[in-house]
């Protein structure tokens, strides 16, 4: 509703401006980040007006981003939210070194392959597809980066339970095929592998 105060300290802008109803509108996403709760993914996605011609409702604010060279510890879910990852590194090719944990009991690669073969494949997000900063199981803290694989890319993952090097990017072009604006943004947040090798 026009004129409603969001209550969010920060919003990330991903599209716009679009002129309508005498205002400039931007597609924005917010993240929940309070003392009681922190969320890796956006809490709300929608269009917001920049101001009313006299007062600015959106004010630029630079967020700090990891410094080069980027390492895995700089981009895990413990280090950054997904919106920060996209804001800082969207479209940038990253090569990262991490631990590829074994699958938990009862899980199989076939479950991931079935998900990757479904449409849209960018929505096939699973914590089973991850690399960790330290050698450990898939379970535990958020010090990992989850990834997805384009089924048409030809990427073959090395065996689990070893250190691997992966190359990939956020904001994959196929995100535009994910659906409405909110679904497209969620797909842009995924880290998509273009290469993976042992070591």
Using alpha carbons, select from 142, 109, 143, 141 the residue that is nearest to residue 128: 109
| pLDDT value of residue 8 | 62
- Are 147 and 78 in a shared domain? yes
Q: Is the pLDDT of residue 71 over 90?
A: yes
Largest CA distance in the chain: 60
Provide the residue range defining the domain that includes 17: 1-61
Mean pLDDT of 13-22: 84
- Are 32 and 96 in a shared domain? no
Confidence bin at 58 (pLDDT 50/70/90):
confident
Q: Is the pLDDT of residue 125 over 80?
A: no
CB contact burial 97-117 (16+ within 10 A = b; e otherwise)? ebbbbeeeeeeeeeebeebbe
Of 13-22, 41-50, 112-121, 125-134, give the lowest mean pLDDT range: 112-121
Of 31-40, 55-64, 125-134, 177-186, give the lowest mean pLDDT range: 31-40
- Are 82 and 178 in a shared domain? yes
**Hey, how many other C-beta atoms are within 10 angstroms of the C-beta on 40?**
17
Structural domain count, the chain: 2
- Are 12 and 90 in a shared domain? no
- Are 194 and 130 in a shared domain? yes
| pLDDT value of residue 2 | 44
Rounded CA separation 190/42 (Å): 12
Q: Does 18 fall in a domain?
A: yes
Q: Does 163 fall in a domain?
A: yes
- Are 31 and 103 in a shared domain? no
E strand or H helix that includes residue 86: helix 82-89
Q: 112 φ, ψ to 5°?
A: -70, -40
Whether this model's pTM surpasses 0.95: no
Rounded CA separation 87/54 (Å): 28
Rounded CA separation 88/67 (Å): 10
Strand-pair partners of 99 = 132, 163
Mean pLDDT of 64-71: 92
Q: Does 125 fall in a domain?
A: yes
Q: Is the pLDDT of residue 4 over 60?
A: no
Q: Does 66 fall in a domain?
A: no
How far is residue 29 CA from its own chain's centroid? 12
- Are 81 and 163 in a shared domain? yes
- Are 107 and 182 in a shared domain? yes
Q: Does 80 fall in a domain?
A: yes
Question: Tokens 């969320």 belong to which residue?
Answer: 39
Contact between 35 and 86 under an 8 Å Cβ cutoff? The reply is no
- Are 92 and 155 in a shared domain? yes
């Amino acid at each position: 509703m026009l004129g409603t105060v969001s209550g969010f300290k920060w919003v990330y802008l991903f599209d716009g401006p679009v002129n309508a109803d005498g205002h400039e509108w931007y597609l924005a996403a917010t993240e929940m980040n309070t003392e009681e709760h922190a969320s890796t993914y956006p809490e709300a996605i929608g269009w917001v007006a920049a101001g009313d011609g006299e007062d600015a409702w959106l004010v630029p604010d630079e967020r700090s981003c990891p410094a080069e060279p980027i390492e895995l510890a700089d981009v895990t879910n413990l280090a950054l939210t997904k919106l920060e990852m996209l804001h800082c590194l969207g479209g940038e090719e990253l090569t990262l070194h991490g631990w590829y944990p074994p699958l938990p009991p009862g899980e199989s690669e076939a479950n991931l392959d079935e998900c990757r073969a479904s449409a849209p494949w960018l929505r096939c997000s699973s914590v089973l597809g991850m690399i960790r900063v330290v050698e450990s199981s898939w379970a535990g803290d958020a010090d990992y980066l989850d990834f997805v694989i384009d089924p048409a890319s030809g990427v073959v993952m090395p065996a689990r339970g070893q250190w691997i090097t992966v190359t990939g990017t956020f904001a994959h072009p196929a995100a535009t095929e994910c659906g409405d604006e909110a679904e497209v943004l969620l797909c842009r947040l995924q880290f998509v592998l273009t290469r993976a090798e042992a070591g």
